[in-house]
């Protein structure tokens, strides 16, 4: 599937009035990761990998917390279905010693700037709730 993910994300971010979250003086393209800068130095990354549009954030180091002690809280956040991602996503994964929140966009999310904005918002809400559970400011 060929798409202009960088253009769609840029339009979506401007649509919700958060152009400040986009990199300054940088031309976004579809060949590298797109990073959205949120408050408190939190970032959301997006990229097309093997024709699959992916969104992810680094939450913390894997060894930072005992996930078993917070599993009930995590499950309540992670079990909220969003039509903008494939079933079971976003999901927490261990990547290179870090816990990352990852998801692949559904076709609905890729429809237009409004649905992409809603998808990014859904993702950001899950991410913020996870940061709260992990007690990361």
Q: What is the pTM of this model?
A: 0.87
Domain total of the chain: 1
Residue range 58-109, pLDDT digits in tens: 998 887 667 788 889 999 999 989 999 999 999 999 999 999 999 999 999 9
User: Residue 44's domain spans which residues?
Assistant: 5-133
Task: Tokens for 42, please give them.
Answer: 């939190």
Give the domain CATH number at 31: 3.30.1460.10
Residue range 23-71, pLDDT digits in tens: 655 555 556 788 888 777 689 999 999 889 999 999 988 876 677 888 8
For tokens 């680094």, the residue is 58
């Amino acid at each position: 599937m060929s798409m202009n993910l960088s253009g769609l994300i840029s339009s979506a971010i401007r649509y919700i009035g958060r152009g400040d979250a986009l990199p300054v003086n940088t031309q976004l393209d579809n060949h590298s990761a797109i990073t959205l800068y949120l408050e408190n130095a939190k970032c959301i990354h997006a990229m097309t990998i093997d024709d699959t549009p992916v969104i992810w954030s680094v939450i913390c180091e894997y060894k930072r917390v005992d996930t078993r002690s917070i599993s009930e809280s995590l499950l309540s956040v992670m079990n909220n279905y969003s039509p903008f991602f494939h079933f079971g996503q976003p999901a927490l994964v261990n990547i290179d010693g870090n816990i990352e929140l990852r998801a692949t966009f559904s076709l609905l999310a890729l429809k237009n700037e409004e649905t992409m904005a809603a998808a990014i918002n859904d993702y950001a809400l899950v991410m913020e709730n996870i940061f709260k559970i992990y007690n990361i400011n």
